Structure 1
Amino acid sequence: MSTLAQAETKTRKKQGASGNGGGGGSSAAGGGGGENFQPAPLAEEARRRYLNYALSVITSRALPDVRDGLKPVQRRVLYGMYHDHRLTQDAKYQKSAKVVGTIMGQYHPHGDASIYDALVRLAQDFSLRYPLVDGHGNFGSLDGDAAAAMRYTECRLAGISGEMLTELGKKTVGFRPNYDGTLSEPIVIPSRLPQLLMNGTTGIAVGMATNIPPHHLGELCDALAALIENGNLAVKDLMKFVKGPDFPTGGQILNSKAELREIYETGQGSVRIRGEYALEDVKKGGQQIIITSIPYTVNKSTLVSKIGDLVRERKLPLLLDVRDESTKEVRIVLEFKRDASPELVMAYLYKHTPLQTNFGVNLTCLVPTDNPEVGAPKRLDLKSILQYFLDFRFEVVTKRFQHELGELQKRVHILEGFEKVYDALDEMIRIIRASEGKQDAAKKLMARFKLDEVQVDAILEMKLYKLARLEILVIQEELKQKRLEVKRIEGILKDKRKLWGTVKDELAEIKATYNDKRRTRIGGAGSEEVEFSEDAFIVDEDAHVVLTRDGWIKRVREVKDPSTTRLREGDAVMTVLAGSLKSNLVLFSNFGAAYVTRFNDVPASTGYGDPVQKLFKFDDGERIVGALSLDSRLPRPQKLVAVTKDGLGLRFPLEGHVEVSTRSGRRYAKTGEGDEIIGVQPVGEKDLLAVLTERTYATVCRAAEVNELAGPGKGVLVIKVEPGDRVMEFLAVAPGQKDASITFETQKGRKLTLSPAKYEVTGRGGKGHEMSRKDTVKEVQRSVTFLQLPEKKD
C-alpha cells in the first residue's frame, strides 16, 4: 500500500473511532472506501473499465441483434413510435422532435442527435431497401444533403413496420426495465421480417465492426421457406434463392457466383458494385450517356463533381460535359465526342471515379446467450443468420399461440358462467335482489351455481339487455366458436409441424404483400466489355514538363524560353523535359529513388505548378536532383551515372526505370548515413567524369572506372573528400567535347572553369587538384537542360 493510501486509511479509522467518520467501514458508499479499502493498480483498473466500456458499445450501441436485425437505438425509436405515440401507418404525422424527445426521455438517454440520425436513416429510401419510417419533409438526399432539423420534419411508421410490431402485445418477447427503471422496453422486437438481411446495417464497435448489405425480401422469404422444408441445406443451396445483395440505389454486382458464395460462407468479403448506364439518342444527331444508377452509399453530387473535374482538366478528352438532371430517379447526362466510344468513356469513369466501388461485407451481429438480455458478438454465414431468425420466429409464434389460447380460455370460462345462470335467470335475479350488496350477491351466486369469482364478477357487471333471448343465443354461439378455436390452437401447439407450417405461411403472406422487383443486377462484366486502357484516353500531342530547383513541377503546352516561365520568388528552372503526353519521364531523388510517371499525369498549369511531393510519396528531406524524358524520339542513354556529396559514384542501367512506377518509386541507389546524391546524368562507356568539391578540389577520371551496379548500392569512391568538404557538381562528357565544362565562382571572386577536355585525366579515388588555394566555391553556374523534340513523322 502506498504511503498516501496508508495515511488516508489511518485518518478514516480515527474519524470512525471519534464518531466523525460517517459510519466507519460503511463510508465506502460515499467514496471513501472504509476500513477494507484497498488501492487498485492503475493498469488493472483501466483494463477493467475499458472492457466494461467495450462491452457496452458492442452489446448496447453498435451491433444489431440477429433476431430482429436492429440496434438498440433503432429498436427504441420503432417501439416508442408504436407504443407511446401510436404512429401507425394510418395515423397523422407527428413532429420528429416530439418523437425524439420521448425516446430520449424514456428509453435512450444518449442525446437527441444520435436518436434523430437513426430515425432519419430509417426513413431514407436510398439508405434502406425497405424504409421502416414514413418521413414527411426533408430527410436528406443522395447528394449528401443533411435532413432538416427535427422541429421541421414529421414522421410516422411505414406500413411494413407493422409486421415487426403488431405481436408486441401478445407476450411474444421479453421486456426489461428502461434506463431509470420507471418503464419497460422489449429486449427484441417480434419481427415477422428478416430485417437484418432485408435492410442490412453498418456499425463500428470496439475491436469489431459490422457491415451487412441489404437484400431482396422475396428472395429471403423463399430461402427461409426452403430451409423450413429442409434444414440440411447448405449455403450454396440457399444461394439458389438469395442471389446476392439488393441495394436500394440499384447498380450492378460484378462478383462471380463463386465469389459471392465464399462471402456468404465466411461471413466476410468484398462486393464490387458499379453504376449502370444507357445510351440515348440526341435530336441533333449522335448519342449521350445516361447514368441511371449509382453504387450504394456513393454521394451523387461528389460523383458528378469528380466527373466534372476530369472534363475540366482534360484527363478524359473524349468526354465533353456532364449534367445532373436527376429528380426522384438518377439521371446523370454525359456528352461525349461523336467519334468516341461510349464503352471507353465508361471504362475510364469506372476506373477513376466512385462510379465503381467495393462494399466490404462483414456479417457480424449479436446472437442469443443464456442471459436473455445480453447477446454475444459473432460473425455468421448466410445459413446461420437465416436459421437464427427461423428459430426466433418459431419461438414467437409458439408464445403468440399460447397467449391467444390463454385469452380464449379466460373468455370460455366466463361464457360458461353465463351459460349456467341463463338456465335459471329468475332465480339469479331473485338472489341478487335479495342480497345486501355486490359482495353478498357474489357469495350467494357462487354457492348456488358453483361459480368462481371471475365468473360471478362478469355476471354482476353484465348489462340488462344481455338477458334478452337473442343475446343468450349469441353467447351460446360465441362459446361454441371459442371452444372450437381452443381445440384448434391446442392441436397446433402439440404439433411442431403445424407450428412450422404457420411460420412458413406467414412468410408467404409477407412475400405476397411486399414483394417487388429486384433493383441490383447480379452478374459480372461480359466478355464483350471494353477493358480499361490508360493510353486510350490520352491525346497524342506534345507537351513540356518544367521542374524547378525548389521542387515545383508543371506541364505546359509549349516552352520557347525557360527563363520566361512563371516561378516563385527565389526559385529557378532546373530542367525542361519535352515529350508526348503518352510518353514517360523519370525523376531521380537525392535518396536514391527513381519515380516514373506519364507526361499526361503531371498537372497542367499556367501558374507555379504543384509540389512534386504531391505526385509521389517522398521521405522528409527528399528532393529531385535529376530528370530524363523517355520520349521515343529523343536519344535514350543505356547507362546513367550518379555521384554523392561524399564523393561516391555509381553507374546503373536505365532499363529498370522506364515503366511507370508506384508513388513510392523504385530504388536505384543506396545512400550512407548523412550522404545524399547530388545528381544523375547520362553516361557512355568512353565518357570522362569531372567532379568538383566545395573547397575547389577537382578530378577527372574515366567513367568506365566507376563500377556498374545491377541493383541498388552505395557505389565506389570517385574523389576523396576531406572532413568538412563536399562534392558540389559533376559532369559526364564524351572525350574531345570541348564545349562541356563546369563554370563556377569562388569566395575570393575568381571565375574558374573545369573542362574535362583540358584537365589531366587521373584514376578515380584520389584527392584531386586544388583549383584555387585556400578558397571555396561560392556559386556554380548551371545551365538548364532543355532538349527540343523533332517534328513528328507522318
Structure 2
Amino acid sequence: MAKRRSSANGQTGKSGNGRASGGRSKSGRGNSGQIDESLLKEIENIPLRLAAQDRYLNYSLSVITSRALPDVRDGFKPVQRRILYTMLQQRLDSNAKHSKCAKVVGDVMGKYHPHGDSSIYEALVRMSQAFSLRMPMIDGSGNFGSIDGDNAAAMRYTECRMTPIASAVLMDLSTRTVAFKQNYDGTREEPVVLPSRVPNLLVNGATGIAVGMATNIPPHNLKEVCKALLKLLSDPEIKDYQLVAGDAIQGPDFPTGGEIVNSKEELREIYATGSGTVKLRGVASVAETSKSGDVLRITEIPFGVNKALMVERIAELVYSNKLPLVEEVRDLSSEDIRVDLLLKKGADANKVLAYLYKNTPLQTNFNVNLTCLTPTENPEVGAPRRLSLKEILWYFLHFRLDVLTARLTNELNSLLRRIHILEGFALIFDALDMIIKIIRNSEGKADAADKIMKKFPAEKGGLDAEQTDAILELKLYRLARLEINLILDELKAKRKRVKEIEKLLADDREDYLSSGRWKLIREELTSLVTDYASDVAGRRRSQILTQTEEIEITEEDFIVAENCHVLVTVDGWVKRQKHIADPSKSRLRQGDKVLACVSGNTRETIAFFSSLGVCYTARMQDLPASTGFGEPIQKLFKFKDGERIIAAMSMDPRIIGNIAEDPKGSYYPETHALAASSDGYALRFGLQSFAEPSTRAGRRFSRVKAGAAIVDVVPVHGTETVLAVSADCRGMVCPVDEINYLSGAGKGVLLMKLATTDRLLGFKPSTGDRDLLTVVTNRGAKKTISTAKYRVTSRGGRGIELQKNGKIAEIVENAVEPPTLFDE
C-alpha cells in the first residue's frame, strides 16, 4: 500500500491557487509527460495488513473510549456528559424555563460532539424518559416517546431543562474540581468527567456496544446504592456478597418495575463476577371476578419491552387459538400500565400467566455486563474493564474523595486570596485619613497606588500591588465604622475556615471512619438519600422473588380439544379443516392430487413419512388452518433435497388403536407400521416413539439404500397378508409376520426379489378379505388386482406374473377414503 506524505505546510505539493506547483499536472507528471521524481520520494510503502490493522485499532479505541462505554466515575457516556454540560452553560437548571431541544442539540453538535444531530437527540430523549432511566436527568416538555415504542417528536417541537438531581451531578463543576480537555476543534474546553455526587452508573445503568466488547448495566435504587456505599465506608474489607444483603443493594431496580426471580446466590454471583443473567417478568393478577370469567390484569412489564408489541404478541396467540383460555385482550393503559385479559369461564389464571411468561415478552432475561471505563494515568483516556459491584463502589468513593479534595483546595486558595485582601483593608483602617489625602493629591490611579505602596512598603509588612488595587476600588460607604466591623468579622470567619480546610487536607489517614474528608463524603451520601430518595422516589419498584412456585403446564392445556381433518397432497401441501366430507372435492393446486386425509383431535399428533425413511410429527393444532390450498409442508419441517411425503398417519388413539408395547412381553405392539422401499426391502416398526411432536429434523425409521426410496407406510397388526406389486407386472402375497419387526431404524429384509431394471411400486395389506389394488399400465389402462386371487407364499421370491405384456406405470388408490367422523 502506498502512503502519501504531507508537506510541512499541510499541503501535498499544490500551490495556493490549486494548480500543481513546479508545473506538475494533477497526475504527478511534468509538462514533458515524465513522472516527477520528487513525488516518488514522498511515497512510503506500507503493507496493507499493517495499514488496515493500524486504522482499525484507532477506530476501535475511539468507539470504546469516546462513544459506547460509560465512565465508572460519573456513569455517563461522552454524548450524555456533553448534553448536560451544554445545558449548564445555557443555564437550563430545574428552575429555568424550558428551552427548545433543537438549541441544545445544535450547541452540543457545534461545540463538543461532532456527530449527527439524530444520535445526540436520541440520547437527550432517553435521558428524559422515566421508563428508560431510574432517575431521569432531563425534564422534557412535549412528546418524548412512549413505552409503546412511539418515537419522540422532532427536536424543533420539544423543549427541555434539567431535573433537580442533575444539579447534584453538576454541583461542583464551577470550581473546576475535575480535569478539562480541549474540544474537537480546540476552540473551547469540556470536562473529562462530571463531578457527580450521584452514583449514576448504578442508579441509571448503561447499555452500549463497542468494538469487541459491550456493556449492559441494570439500573438500581438510589437509596440502596447509597447504603451500600456507606457500608463500604464503614468496612473497607467487606465482601461483594455482603453488599447484596439486608438494606443495601438487593438487586436491580428497573424503572418499569416487574419481578426478579433470581435467587440470592445467583444475584451475588452476578455482582461478584460482573456478568450473569437477571430473569425479569411482568406483574399480573386477577383484578375482577365474575360468572362469565375472570379478568387477568397486567400492571407492570419487564424493562426494555415494547408494550405495544407485547400486547400484539398476546393477541396473536389468542386469535390464532393458541391461547384458548383467553377470550379477549384489551390495552387500557394511560400513564400507568393496564392490559386486561378477559378469561373464559373456568379458565385457570395461573396457567394463563405461566403460558404468557413462557411464550411472550412478559418474561425476559437481562444479561448483566458490568463493563465500563476506569481511570488511567492519562485523565482523558479510560481503560475498559469488567468490574464487580465492590470495585464500582470503590471507584466512585475515591472519585468523590478526589473531587472533594479539589473542591477544598480551590476553596482554600480562594479564601487565602480573600484574606490577603481583607488584611490589607485591616491594615489601613487606622490610617484612612492619610490614604484619602494621598489619593486626593495623586494624579491618577497608578500614581496613587505608587504613593500608597511607598507609604506602606510590602517588605515591612505593608501593602502589595493586589491589596493596594483593592483599596483603591473600595467604595466610600465601606469606610463606615459598621462596615469596617463587618470586614473584620469576615476576616475572622475566613481565617477559621482556612484552619478547618487545612486540617481536612492534612488528614491523610486511611481509616474510613476517622478521616475528616471521608466523614464529609458520608454526610453527602446521607443528604443525597434525604433530598432525592424520599419515601415515594426511594421506594423499590422491582420486587425480588427468591422463591417462586413454578406452575406446571402442558401444551394440551392451551389447545382447544376439537375434531379436525388434515389433508396432504402428493406435491406436499398440507392444510387443516374442521370437516372434510369428500376429499376428492377439496380445493387443490392445478395438477396436484390428494395423498392422504386423516382425522383426529387437535391435541393429538399426526405423523408424516418421507421417501428417505424419516418421520416428521406435529400436533394437528400446529398445522395451517385453511380452506384454500394450504401451505407447503417444507415450512414446518427441515427436508433434504428430493425428499417428499409418501404417507400420513393420525396418532389419535381412536384412529390408530393401541400402539403401546405389550407389557406382557409381546414381540411387537398390537398396532405398528409396515414400510417398503423401491428396491424390494420391507420392515416393520413401532409407532410409540412418534406419538409426540418431534423437532423440525424429524426422526428416522428406516435406512434406505442409495438410489432407493420408501414407497409407502401403513398400519398393520402382524396377522395380515401383504400384496406387493412391481413395475414389471410381478406381484406376490406373503404373511406380514414374516417381515422382521425392528426396534430401531434399519434396512429391513427382502420382501420381493426384483430384476435389475425392476422396482417395487407399492403394496396392500389384507386381513383376508377381497382387498383391491388398482394399477395403471404403461398403455394407460386401469387394472384391478385382488389380494384374494393369488396364493400366499413366503417372502423373498420373484412373485408371479400379473399379465403377459406391458408394464405397470403407477399404483392408483381407488379413492382416498373419507375420514372418520366423530360425534361432536
| Distance (whole Å) between structure 1 residues aligned to residue 51 and residue 800 of structure 2 | 69
State the Cα deviation string for residues 210-253 of structure 1 (Å, max 9, x = none): 11111111000000110011111112100111111111111111
CA deviation string 1:280-327 (max 9, x = no partner): 336888642221111111111122222222332232222221211111
Show the counterpart of 1:583: 604
Q: Which residue of 2 aligns with 1:492?
A: 504
1:61 to 55, 60, 67: 67
Q: How far is the alpha carbon of 1:735 from its aligned partner?
A: 5.9
Per-residue CA deviations over 1:467-506 (Å, capped at 9, x if unaligned) read 2222211111111111111111111112241111111111
> 1:364 maps to which residue?
371
Question: What's the secondary structure of 1:233's corresponding residue?
Answer: coil
The Cα offsets for residues 726-745 of structure 1, whole Å up to 9 and x where unpaired, read as 65x3225136343142x232
C-alpha distance in 2 between matches for 1:439 and 1:769 = 136
Distance 1:667 1:321 in 2: 42
Quickly say closer, same or farther: Cα 1:370–1:289, change in 2 above 3 A: same
1:279 equivalenced with 2:289 (yes/no): no
Aligned residue for 2:45, secondary structure, equals: coil
Residues 352-402 of structure 1: per-residue CA shift (max 9 Å, x gap): 221122222111212222222222222222111111111211111111111
Does 2:567 align with 1:536?
no
- Structure 2: unaligned runs, 5 residues or longer: 5-11, 14-20, 29-35, 509-514, 660-668
> 1:581-620 to 2 correspondence within 5 Å?
581-619=602-640
Amino acid at match of 1:513: D
Deviation at 1:758, TM superposition (A): 4.0
Write the distance in 2 (CA, Å) between the matches of 1:63 and 1:523: 31
1: CA distance, partners of 2:38 / 2:279: 59
How many angstroms does 1:137 deviate by?
A: 0.5
| In 2: Cα distance, 1:266 partner to 1:717 partner | 63
Partner of residue 520 from structure 1, selected from 528, 532, 542: 542
**Partner SS for 1:304:** helix
Q: TM-score, normalised by structure 2?
A: 0.86
Whether the aligned pair in 1 keeps the contact of 2:127 and 2:136 (CA below 8 Å) is yes
Q: CA deviation at 1:762?
A: 6.0
Structure 1 370/550 Cα, relative in aligned 2: closer, same or farther at 3 Å? farther
- Partner residue in 1 for 2:304: 297
Structure 2 contact 721–768 (Cα < 8 Å) conserved: no
Worse-superposed segment, 585-594 or 286-295: 585-594
C-alpha deviation, 1:21, in angstroms: 7.1
Aligned with residue 820 of structure 2, among 788, 791, 794: 788
Match of 1:209 among 214, 223, 232: 214
2:592 to 571, 574, 595: 571
**Is 2:253 aligned against 1:231?**
no
1:265 aligns to 2:298 (yes or no): no
The answer to whether the 8 Å contact 1:543/1:558 transfers is: yes
Secondary structure of 2:674's partner? strand
SS at match of 1:661: coil
SS of the residue 1:292 aligns to: strand
Give 1:413's match in structure 2, choosing from 395, 414, 420.
420
Answer whether contact 1:745 1:777 (CA < 8 A) is retained.
Answer: yes
Tell me what 1:9 maps to.
none
**Contact 2:261 2:548 (C-alpha < 8 Å) held by counterparts:** no
Aligned match of 2:663 = none
| Aligned: 1:476 with 2:485 | no
**How much has 1:618 moved relative to structure 2?**
4.0
Please identify, of 488-497 and 615-624, the stretch whose mean Cα deviation from structure 2 is larger: 615-624
Query: What is the aligned partner in structure 2 of residue 625 from structure 1?
Result: 646
Return the offset for 1:255: 1.2
Matched residue type, 1:498? G
Structure 1 contact 394–500 (Cα < 8 Å) conserved: yes
Q: Which amino acid aligns with 1:131?
A: P
How far off is 1:677 after superposition?
3.7
Q: Find the aligned partners of 1:31 and 1:53 in 2 and give their Cα distance.
A: 34
Name the aligned partner's letter for residue 455 of structure 1.
Q
Deviates more, 1:665-674 or 1:421-430: 665-674
Structure 1 unmatched runs, 5+: 6-11
Output the CA distance in 2 between the equivalents of 1:31 and 1:47.
Answer: 30
Cα 1:74–1:785 change in 2 (3 A) is: farther
* Alignment of 1:312 onto 2:319: yes
Alpha-carbon distance between aligned partners in 2 of 1:724 and 1:389, rounded to the nearest angstrom:
84
Checking the alignment, whether the CA contact within 8 Å between 2:263 and 2:547 is kept in structure 1 is no
Alignment partners' CA distance in 1, 2:505 and 2:543: 42
Aligned partners of 1:413, 1:239: CA distance in 2, in Å? 51
The SS at the match of 1:290 is strand
Closer, same or farther in 2 for the Cα pair 1:284/1:700, shift >3 Å? closer
- Of the structure 1 ranges 477-486 and 767-776, higher mean CA displacement relative to structure 2 is found in 767-776
Matching residue of 1:739: 771
| Secondary structure of residue in 2 paired with 1:397 | helix
Is the alpha carbon distance of 1:480 and 1:769 closer, same or farther for their aligned partners in structure 2, counting shifts above 3 Å? farther
Structure-1 residue corresponding to 2:393: 386
What is the aligned partner in structure 1 of residue 405 from structure 2? 398
**How big is the shift at 1:89?**
0.6
Distance 1:691-1:433 versus aligned 2 partners, 3 A rule: farther
CA–CA separation in structure 2 for the residues paired with 1:218 and 1:325: 32
Whichever residue aligns with residue 220 of structure 1, its letter is V
1:253 to 249, 257, 260: 260
Provide the rounded CA distance (Å) in 2 between the counterparts of 1:321 and 1:250: 25
The counterpart of 1:764, out of the listed 793, 796, 805, is 796
- Please state if 1:132 is matched with 2:144: no
1:174 match: 179
Match of 2:224 in 1: 219
Deviations 1:542-568 (A, max 9, x none): 222222333333332222211233333
Secondary structure at 1:633's aligned position in 2? helix
Q: 1:751 aligns with which of 782, 790, 799?
A: 782
Structure-2 change in CA distance of 1:776 and 1:628 (3 Å): closer
Equivalent of residue 501 in structure 1, options 519, 530, 537: 519
**Cα pair distance change 1:690/1:38, threshold 3 Å:** farther
- Residue 119 of structure 2 corresponds to which residue in structure 1? 114
8 A Cα contact 1:412 1:482, kept in partner? yes
Higher mean displacement: 276-285 or 573-582: 276-285
Select the residue among 460, 463, 466 that pairs with 1:454: 466
Query: For structure 1, which segment, 307-316 or 319-328, has the greater mean C-alpha deviation from structure 2 after superposition?
Result: 307-316
TM-aligned CA deviation for residue 612 of structure 1: 2.8
Comparing 659-668 with 222-231, which one deviates more in the overlay?
A: 659-668
Contact residue 703 and residue 732 of structure 1 kept, 8 A = no
For the 8 Å contact 2:264–2:546, the answer to whether it is kept is no
Aligned-partner SS, 1:408: helix
Give SS of 2:41's match: coil
Cα distance in 2 for residues equivalent to 1:600 and 1:210: 42
For residues 51 and 797 of structure 2, what CA distance do their matches in structure 1 show? 65
Sort the Cα spacing of 1:538 and 1:763 in 2 relative to 1 into closer, same or farther, 3 A.
closer
Checking the alignment, whether the CA contact within 8 Å between 2:291 and 2:345 is kept in structure 1 is no
Shift of 1:270: 1.5
Show CA shifts across 1:577-610 (max 9, x none): 2222222222233344333322233343334333
Distance 1:282 1:252 in 2: 24
Check whether the contact 1:369–1:376 (CA below 8 A) recurs between aligned residues. Answer: yes
CA 1:410 to 1:356, structure 2 compared with 1: closer, same or farther past 3 Å?
Answer: same
Return the offset for 1:136.
0.5
Tell me how many residue pairs correspond in the alignment. Answer: 771
Distance 1:492 1:538, change over 3 A: same
Structure 2 partner of 1:730:
762
Q: Check conservation: 1:351, 1:532, Cα contact below 8 A.
A: no
- What are the Cα deviations for residues 246-291 of structure 1, in whole angstroms up to 9, with x where unaligned? 1111111111111211221222221111111233336888642221
Change over 3 Å in CA distance of 1:134–1:758 after alignment to 2: same
Q: TM-score, normalised by structure 1?
A: 0.89
Contact 2:750–2:795 (Cα < 8 Å) also in 1? no
CA distance in 1, matches of 2:708, 2:377: 66
Partners of 1:388 and 1:541 in 2: CA distance:
63
Question: In the alignment, is the contact (CA less than 8 A) between 2:616 and 2:697 conserved in 1?
Answer: yes
Residue 709 (structure 1) shift: 4.0
Task: Name the amino acid aligned to 2:495.
Answer: R
The root-mean-square deviation of aligned C-alpha atoms, in Å, is 3.2
